[in-house]
Amino acid sequence: VPNLVYSSVAGEGLHYLTDPNYAHQYYVDLTPVAQDVYTKGNSADVSRDWRTVLVGGLRAGGKGLFALDVTNPDDFTDLATNAANTVMWEFTESDDANLGFLTTAPLISLMNNGKWAVIFGNGYESTNGRAALMILYIEEGLDGWAATDKVVIDTGLGTSLDKNGLSGVTAVDLNGDQIPDRIYGGDIKGNMWAFDVSNTDASKWGSAYKSGTTPKPLFSAKDSNGAAQPITAAPSLALNSAQANKGFSPNALVTFGTGQYLVDGDQANVNVQSYYTIWDSGTEQELVRTDLAARTFTETDEVKSLTGTDVNWDNDEGWY
């Protein structure tokens, strides 16, 4: 039971479950992920070993993540020593004001600097209100969270009064070593970001596209009326086979839909949303709808098909 779930406030905490007037409340609501990681199990360990690490979170129940060593199921008891060996760490908004509500499970991976990490978009309604990519080093978190125990790549977009947030992310390995080199994620202002994490020096990780030192998105999703289209799900990735062997890197097709179902009022929102495929050629930034080929769904005898302009990769940066 994560520490963040406990509360002595009326209407909150585990005791609220016994209240005769209880109304549904979220607690540990995020889909967990598990990965074999070469790490110490707790801060007292003197050596590393392969361990199965589970990372879960609260989702709508609160702003927080936790890591458990689930290598040996025989340790899952309420004995104090076993609990101490199972619970690796918790990470909450008190550790970093960029952390918001996470609705998508994080990624777990070895990074190019040789450290195992938990990777995720910072989520929604953070104190800072900006969209940011967060990378937590699993082993470094065992003794608490110092500034050097994590990497936060801030897009700079969003404020405490006009809040933004980075949604679920997807990572891609570009050189076949099974380590992420680029990470993609969209925010609720409609921006799709590409982050370069290919360097062995983490201080050089950041937005793949910049104007000077200012991060710039790969693409900004807006409808035909110019309204921003929120991105709340992790994108999918594919190789652009039509442009293979032409020297483009990463030459990735980033596909995603737009739309939001997170807060009161979303049920009544009838703004038309879109599905996008954006070509990340490694050369273009701040792409917009007019850079893409237009397509529509048509339905004949209950069969839907995609019609419209064929993509001309000499001129088009994808399609919508």
Residue 66 contacts residue 87 (beta carbons within 8 Å): yes
Residue 81 belongs to a domain: yes
Would you say residue 310 has pLDDT above 90?
no
State residue 82's pLDDT score.
87
Residue 207 belongs to a domain: yes
Residue 185 belongs to a domain: yes
Contacts of residue 123, defined as CB under 8 A and 6 or more positions apart, other chains included, come to 63, 99, 100, 101, 102, 103, 165, 166, 167
Taking all residues of the chain, what is their mean pLDDT, rounded to a whole number? 95
Residue 15 belongs to a domain: yes
Proportion of the chain above pLDDT 70, given as a percent = 100
State residue 144's pLDDT score.
95
Residue 292 belongs to a domain: no
Coil, helix or strand at residue 117? strand
Would you say residue 274 has pLDDT above 90?
yes
At residue 42, φ and ψ (nearest 5 deg) are -155, 175
Residue 249 belongs to a domain: no
Domain count across the chain: 1
The pairing of strands 275-280 and 318-319 is antiparallel
**Residue 42: pLDDT band with limits 50, 70, 90:** confident
CA atoms of 188 and 256, how far apart (whole Å): 13
Would you say residue 201 has pLDDT above 90?
yes
Dump pLDDT digits (tens) for 218-272.
999 999 999 999 999 999 999 999 999 999 999 999 999 999 999 999 999 999 9
Considering the entire predicted model, what is its pTM?
A: 0.95
State residue 44's pLDDT score.
85
Dump pLDDT digits (tens) for 88-137.
999 999 999 999 999 999 999 999 999 999 999 999 999 999 999 999 99
Residue 192 belongs to a domain: yes
- Paired with 49 in beta bridges are 39
- Nearest of 258, 298, 292 to residue 275 by alpha carbon: 258
State residue 297's pLDDT score.
85
State residue 75's pLDDT score.
87
Proportion of the chain above pLDDT 90, given as a percent = 90
Lowest mean pLDDT among 92-96, 252-256, 273-277, 306-310: 306-310
Q: Would you mind telling me the total number of residues written for the chain in this entry?
A: 320
Token reading at 219: 């693409």
State residue 43's pLDDT score.
84
Residue 123 belongs to a domain: yes
List alpha helices for 2-129, DSSP H: 80-86
Q: Tell me the residue range of the domain where 185 lies.
A: 3-224
Lowest mean pLDDT among 74-88, 192-206, 267-281: 74-88
List alpha helices for the chain, DSSP H: 80-86
CA atoms of 258 and 285, how far apart (whole Å): 19
State residue 78's pLDDT score.
85
| Region 14-30 average pLDDT | 94
**Residue 309: pLDDT band with limits 50, 70, 90:** confident
Would you say residue 81 has pLDDT above 90?
no
